[in-house]
Structure 1
Amino acid sequence: MIVCVAVVGHQNNPLYIQSFTEADDALKLHHIVHCSLDVVDERVNNPKKSGPTLNETFLGLLYPTENYKVYGYLTNTKVKFILVTTDLDVRDADFFRRFHAAYVDAVSNPFHVPDKKITSRTFAERVSNIVKSFGLSSAG
């Protein structure tokens, strides 16, 4: 089940964080997303390790915790997408491609201010629909 998705700007500023759990875990999930940024930076700055190459945007599993698995995706503009799941193994970037398309549509809005939080209800609805289309969450 997907429990959280996040968009983090190129200066590690949170642009959008959405939790999909019934419990009040927002602060805990925000902390997990923040901690994952160090792993993203390490993978991008040290490509010689067995991680993905510089041309790949899907970073794969960033790290597992006791309860969650954290996956990452890096756009060409250094915007990071973070996905926190409980038991889902993400093996390809299909979710992230769809999420990226929704993000591009949201920031292409002429009323959106670059590097500011994404407040579009349309974007939030698209993200919820993407999560639901993977059959991973009934909340939203």
Structure 2
Amino acid sequence: MRNKNKFIEMIKIFASKIIICGVLSVLFFSCAQIGTPNGGIYDRIPPKAKSSKPPHNSTNFKEKSFEIVFDEYISTENTSEEIIISPPLKNKPVVKAHLKTLKVSWTDTLAENTTYIFDFGSSIIDYTEGNRLNNFVYSFSTGNVIDTFEYKG
């Protein structure tokens, strides 16, 4: 009889532990809400250029590349169709977006005393939301003066 009482007591303790674990499990798993966090206000602002190397409108440019750093992560789309270079280069430049930096490089030799304009059209986009930076232009001159392409008279 004594062993029987001990056995019943052990079953009661075991059953109470199972019930406590079950209740705690239900409470623990019911607290979490299933879903994605809302993330705040939708970003509608396109990336903005913060700096460039060499600076925009540089003169006496002798490099084979330039870099532009933006205020947010960027990507590019349709660069071969969107980018217009004036005067045109013989070979298409290599355009690479990495994190917040856009790097443009080329193999052609640049003409002396010439202002080059790189019009990126709408090829630069915000990596997260896809907001397009329209009509972004970077220019430099291989001579002492930037040509404004304006006529006066």
TM-score range with shorter-chain normalisation? under 0.3
Which structure has more helix as a fraction of its residues?
Answer: 1
Q: Which has the higher contact order (CA 8 A, sep 6+)?
A: 1
Q: Higher strand fraction: Structure 1 or Structure 2?
A: 2
